[in-house]
Amino acid sequence: MGDWPGGTIMTKTPKEPAAPENGGRGRKNVEAKLIRAACALLSKRGPRALTVREIAQHAGVNHGQVHHYFKGKKVLLTAAMRTLAREHWENTAARDRDEHDVPPPLALAQDQEYILAVIRCVVDGEMDLATLELEDGISVPRRIVNELIVDPDFDYTPAQVKAVAATFMTAELSWAVFGQYILKMIDADAAEAAEVEAAIARTSRIFLDNPDLLV
């Protein structure tokens, strides 16, 4: 498989008017604070409920600066989701992967801020925000699917590859979001929780390692 170009991916940022020569550092600082605040709040509130005033208050800046630097909420939320997607891509690139470049089972749960932001965007019907990773060419599942399709050692049709990937993603997403809830509902103590998680991890790999069970 090819190398993960994590260090070379450039995320898209909104076009900005030229800043005063002596104000560049201050502007970048405000922009960074607003983007980080939007990242944090997107995972808790979702794009529809989130307001410009909330983001500015969380960032500790005047809400007028959102419009000044980002022209409004949508551009700021786009910059925030691009930031989260890039961080997820880089985190995945840093983890050990198998011979098919697939991350370790249940690794998605380690990027809670990103996955919760994605889910809230999907629930709010903001699919363009949820799938920005595709536009920026930094989608982990899309990259895995595309590479498996052309992998001569993975002898399945594109539809079969996508079915296997979708099944793997379903297990990963479910555990990332509902893992703690599931453990609570089954009354698993700490030792049992570790055993349950290990079993879920093995299960999430079954169809990837044995595609014939699905196709």
Domains in the chain, start-ordered, CATH in brackets?
Answer: 21-213 (1.10.357.10)
Task: Tell me how far apart the alpha carbons of residues 120 and 127 are, in angstroms, rounded to a whole number.
Answer: 10
Q: What is the pLDDT of residue 168?
A: 83
Q: What is the pLDDT of residue 214?
A: 63
Res. 78: pLDDT tops 80: yes
How does DSSP classify residue 213? G
Task: Tell me how far apart the alpha carbons of residues 177 and 161 are, in angstroms, rounded to a whole number.
Answer: 24
User: What average pLDDT score do residues 145-174 get?
Assistant: 87
In this prediction the pTM is 0.77
Q: Please, which pLDDT band fits residue 134 given cuts at 50, 70 and 90?
A: very high
Res. 172: pLDDT tops 90: no
Helices of type H across 46-151? 52-59, 64-70, 73-94, 112-123, 127-130, 132-135, 140-150
